[in-house]
Amino acid sequence: MLTAERVTKTFDGPEGPITVLDGATLSLAPGARLGLVGPSGCGKSTLAAVLALLLAPDAGRVVLDGAPITGYGLAVPKQVRRRVQLVWQSPRQAADPRLTLQQTILEPLAIHQELPATAAEQWELTLGWATRLGLTSDLLRRYPHEVSDGQLQRACLARALILRPGYLLCDEPTSMLDVSTQAALLAAVAQQQERSELGVLLITHDLAVARHWCHEVIDTRDLTPAPAR
């Protein structure tokens, strides 16, 4: 289980502090597809960053598989960080323009020092994930500026899945894609769930998509617990 317990996060704004999360509580179970919907600016992306162990809350905590997380970012051990992976809304901002799609997909394994020993083994591994996610082999040697948003987002999804995480957080992953590509991307995630107990949080402003694809949908207004009496 991945849980945010009464998480609060405040940022400095031009006119003073802005609280974007105020006691937010949410749990994602293994094998579940949970939708989180709400308008822009309501704290969805901030909650995703907190759950992905990239951003420390000002109050509250994240609990991963029963263990409270005490650090964030690089302070979290690699074996813990790999359990939660995040797919960002914009693949252009999330991908290094200097890396080919193959290098993009393999990037987490390089960071974790788990790359296959030979170039042939690396290619075979990358091609397996690419095929699973609808990328053809010729695309793997291209750079981000040489592919479409949909193709690049598939590579970013493969990059997130290659570590075989327990939880996948998708922050508006299809908002920049056409309808057919949206459906294909979500189908690829669903297929991965069939192979594992992957828990998926789909953050979106599209209520129809969330209701169609998710097992449960939560509105951001329901994240904050009622005041204690």
76 and 22 in a single domain? The answer is yes
Domain of residue 122, residue span:
92-164
Ramachandran quadrant class, 154 (left: phi over 0; alpha: psi -120 to 50; beta: rest):
alpha
37 and 102 in a single domain? The answer is no
At residue 211, the pLDDT reads 93
Q: Is the pLDDT of residue 227 over 50?
A: no
Report the percent of the chain where pLDDT is more than 90. 63
At residue 184, the pLDDT reads 84
6 and 78 in a single domain? The answer is yes
7 and 67 in a single domain? The answer is yes
- What average pLDDT does the segment 164-184 reach? 85
Query: How many domains does the chain fold into?
Result: 2
CB half-sphere exposure, 147, CA atoms < 13 A:
27
pLDDT category of residue 174 using cuts at 50, 70 and 90: confident
- What average pLDDT does the segment 48-75 reach? 93
- Cα of first residue to Cα of last residue in the chain, in angstroms, is 28
154 and 184 in a single domain? The answer is no
8 and 77 in a single domain? The answer is yes
Total residue length of the chain: 229
At residue 226, the pLDDT reads 44
At residue 110, the pLDDT reads 93
Among residues 137, 164, 191, the one where a domain terminates is 164
pLDDT category of residue 83 using cuts at 50, 70 and 90: very high
pLDDT category of residue 126 using cuts at 50, 70 and 90: very high
At residue 229, the pLDDT reads 34
Sort strands 67-68 and 59-64 into parallel, antiparallel or unpaired: antiparallel
Question: Which residue from 217, 148, 200, 208 is spatially nearest to 178, judged by alpha carbons?
Answer: 148
**What is the DSSP track for 51-62?**
HTTSS--SEEEE
Among residues 164, 197, 218, the one where a domain terminates is 164
75 and 119 in a single domain? The answer is no
By CB neighbour count within 10 A (0-12 exposed, 13-18 middle, 19+ buried), where does 157 fall? buried
